[in-house]
Amino acid sequence: MTGTPLLSAALLLVLLPGTLTQTTEEVPIDVVVENTLLQTKPETFSTHVVHGGNLLGAMKRLMASNADFKFSYTKDPNFGPYLESVNGVAGNDADHTYWELLVQTPGGKTIRPDVGIGCYIPSAREQIILRFIKW
């Protein structure tokens, strides 16, 4: 009877297809870059995130596919990824500037997520707004 547990595990894998594989469903989003200090026209970039994937992954995908979008971040040991710069513009403590993360839902409501780019899970057709501002 030593083969019974192995047979049971194999049967479960057959009966539950896709349970051990990663989803590839694409969720379309837009990333909007706004610089309120220079008052430049916002730039909109279309990309996608895999279903259940985080914003950081979508931004990396966007940067790899579009030469006009670049960003950098640091990894804080306590709080995770922290957005430093977008398209060559970096936040600066001395100038009191930073990149704010906002999300406009398909219904038009703008929210400020309580998590950053490494934890935020975008929904379909959201506009992710990266806004350069002063504090």
For range 66-76, the mean pLDDT: 96
Give the pLDDT confidence score for residue 62 in this predicted structure. 98
Phi/psi for 40 (5° steps) reads: -85, 160
Contact assessment for residue 130 and residue 34, using Cβ atoms and an 8 Å cutoff: yes
Higher pLDDT, 1 or 123: 123
pLDDT at 99 over 80: yes
Give the pLDDT confidence score for residue 10 in this predicted structure. 47
The pTM score is 0.81
Instruction: Provide the H-helix boundaries in 1-135.
Output: 4-15, 55-65
**What's the CA gap between 84 and 99, in Å, rounded?**
7
Is the Cα torsion angle 106, 109, 122, 64 positive or negative in sign? positive
Give the pLDDT confidence score for residue 20 in this predicted structure. 47
Higher pLDDT, 17 or 117: 117
**Residue type at position 13:** L
Give the pLDDT confidence score for residue 12 in this predicted structure. 47
Domains, in order of start, for the chain = 25-134 (2.170.130.30)
